[in-house]
Amino acid sequence: MPHDSARRFAPADDTPDTPDALDTPGTPSAPSLDAMLADLEELVTCESFSDDHAAVARSGQVVAAQGRRLLGVSPQTLTLDGITHVQWTFGTPRILLLGHHDTVWPTGSLKTHPWSVEQGVVRGPGVFDMKAGLVQMFHALESLPSLDGLCVLVTGDEETGSATSRALIEDIARRCSATFVLEPSAPGGALKTGRKGVSLYDITVHGRAAHSGLEPEKGVNAATELAHQLLALGGVASTVNASTGPGTSVTPTTMRAGTANNTVPAQAELSVDVRVPDATAQDAVDRLIRSLHPRIPGARLQIDGGPNRPPLAPDASRDLFALATEEAVRLGLGPLRQAAVGGASDGNYTAGVGCPTLDGLGAVGDGAHADHEHVVAATMPDRARLLARLVGALR
């Protein structure tokens, strides 16, 4: 049923028979798994590839309608540079619940990765990262007697770096005392209490074109210069790891060069993905990459980009993870585990502005961005109950 701020509820019948659980009022009952799966199917079958802004807009409408039904309030729909974000604000925000509805799966992926629920395993594009987390969040909030003090933000560009939503995320987080991120869990359901920071660079080599058969010596081969830069980048991570400690990776990803088979390439382009364990390493990588210089006379380098997401340090999650552990025990869910991961999320932004942040509260499963992406269905109701208890404990 829709959320009603005047509605109260009794502890669930299946509350563990422990003194803590029995003495804690408002223990949320487990949502209906069938209802959660129906909502999840609705979200997954509305594809939302990040680069397909029309698809993201359609997905935003579905997210808004689902939240409206469960929370009883229409959201604010924000379109920033063509990308759709959905936001609910209840009173003066003190807690931010953060997620995204865009996915890495190109439109049409349902044909090769159809929605399915077989033997308790749910599959479909974006089901794990992170549409199941959105469903768990909505059902958790639907169980609460009041939503006062909450802000729910579901962005549409997380998978591409949150260029249009970052300022919005950071502005809300600065005014909150806690952020809960509904990204999928680490293996085995572990919460994410540490994330590496991300830096993204685009390196462009400017050379000079010439006929590759008649007068190649008059050209400046941008592709050859790019090869020199690839070798130079290989030493950046080693240098940083030796000086600041292990954990930094510098990975060339996409590159292209040249225009024709018989022409010396006048331009070459390379993208670089950097992951760092802390701000010191992020600054060190930035200095080294910006100090790259051309090796071939006449070539010129253009270096764009830089730090994208700051690291999410364990200190930002320590108190919230301790609270989550207590609430999990009271719910009879057993001890929680925590993990530090290399992937980044919008939780990096909230932690970066000083807001205590707990990530990985979403789905339990595996295969984010991969063919085997899936969610373990039976875990969804309990993850929703845990989130409801966390929100209730802080209000």
**Furthest CA-CA distance within the chain:** 87
CA distance 75 to 85: 10
Cβ-in-10-Å burial (0-12, 13-18, 19+) of 8 comes to exposed
Q: Give CA–CA dist 132/44, Å, rounded.
A: 9
Whether residue 366 lies in the annotated active site: no
CA distances from 174 to 96, 170, 177, 235 (A): 10, 6, 8, 37
Could you tell me the CA-to-CA distances from 7 to 75, 147, 205, 212, 243 in Å, in that order?
21, 11, 63, 77, 57
**Distance separating the N- and C-terminal Cα atoms of the chain:** 23
Cα 129 from chain centre: 8
Task: Mark whether 217 is an active-site residue.
Answer: no
Distance from chain centroid for Cα 279? 19
Residue among 39, 47, 142, 158 flagged as catalytic: 158
Alpha-carbon span 152 to 164, nearest angstrom: 17
Which listed residue (47, 102, 286, 366) is catalytic? 102
Check if the beta carbon of residue 94 is closer than 8 Å to that of residue 394. Answer: yes
Name the nearest CA neighbour of 29 among 395, 385, 391, 386: 385
**Phi, psi of 37, rounded to the nearest 5 degrees:** -70, -35
d(CA 383, CA 360): 11
135 SS3 class:
helix
Spell out the alpha helix ranges (H) of 114-211. Answer: 132-142, 166-174
Write the burial class of residue 134 (CB in 10 Å: 0-12 exposed, 13-18 middle, 19+ buried).
buried
E strands in the chain: 76-80, 83-90, 95-100, 116-118, 121-123, 150-155, 178-181, 191-195, 197-206, 249-257, 267-276, 300-309, 338-341, 357-358, 365-366, 374-376
Active site residues: 102, 158
